[in-house]
Chain A
Amino acid sequence: DTAVSQTPKYLVTQMGNDKSIKCEQNLGHDTMYWYKQDSKKFLKIMFSYNNKELIINETVPNRFSPKSPDKAHLNLHINSLELGDSAVYFCASSLRTYEQYFGPGTRLTVT
């Protein structure tokens, strides 16, 4: 009965590759998010998405793109991976403006 799930939990890949991280929520929430936790442990918002609107943090490179096949899923696609993309990526969801529920995270390592 996992609320917010992410796959894979660990992802190791080489520079220049393209990869995706999947996120699913079974809470019936209408808004989903992606956050990045860098090596200094800072959690930073990347995207906020509901079926009407995508809001992008302006600091996110356009190599990153969220894709939502339906309301329960928000996948993160990353093109041309760079060493600096290594981090833990967290998916989250919420119902309108209420508290966000986070997934367990995906640790991405780019070599």
Chain B
Amino acid sequence: DQQVKQNSPSLSVQEGRISILNCDYTNSMFDYFLWYKKYPAEGPTFLISISSIKDKNEDGRFTVFLNKSAKHLSLHIVPSQPGDSAVYFCAAQRNNAGNMLTFGGGTRLMVKP
């Protein structure tokens, strides 16, 4: 039973436009959410996070939005760059659960020049 889902396996965007990656979760006990970026043959790299007490967090070109009532979060990348092409994983964490992350299945983003 997947508690964190990324329903779009891939996304193609033109350079300079906005990329929007979506993530849904089912477990209401999750209280911290993270986005990771992964290149082939490398480990995931932390990108941005958001606590469940907030609805938005911004870091440069990256913004994460959280809608708790809908159990939905999204990552916006503006403007998208070719170097952003990678697989993006959404992850969720429960307090008092050993900080273990539950990951979504990933979305492959391709930014075309």
* A44 cross-chain contacts in B, Cβ below 8 A: 103
Query: A43-B103, A48-B100 are contacts. A99–B44 as well, Cβ < 8 Å?
Result: no
B45 in contact with A102 (CB, 8 Å): yes
**Closest residue to A95 on the B side, CB-wise?**
B99
Q: Once the chains bind, are A43 and B97 in contact (CB under 8 Å)?
A: no
Interface size on B, residues (CB 8 A): 23
Residue of B nearest to A3 (CB): B43
Known: A100-B46, A105-B41. A45 touches B105 (CB 8 A): no
Q: Does B34 contact A (CB under 8 A)?
A: yes
What sequence of 0s and 1s flags, for each residue 65-99 of chain B, a beta carbon within 8 Å of any chain A beta carbon?
00000000000000000000001010001010111
Number of A-B contacts (CB under 8 A): 58
On chain B, the residues within 8 Å of A53 by CB distance are: 98
Q: Is the CB of B100 within 8 A of A101?
A: no
* Residues of B near any A CB (own CB < 8 A): 32, 34, 36, 41-46, 49, 87, 89, 93, 95, 97-103, 105-106
Q: Which A residues are within 8 Å of any B CB, using their own CB?
A: 4, 31, 33, 35, 40-45, 48, 53, 55, 57, 90, 92, 94, 96-97, 99-105
A-B contact pairs, 15 of them (CB 8 A): A40-B105, A41-B106, A42-B105, A44-B103, A45-B100, A45-B101, A45-B102, A48-B98, A90-B43, A97-B99, A99-B46, A102-B36, A102-B44, A102-B45, A105-B43
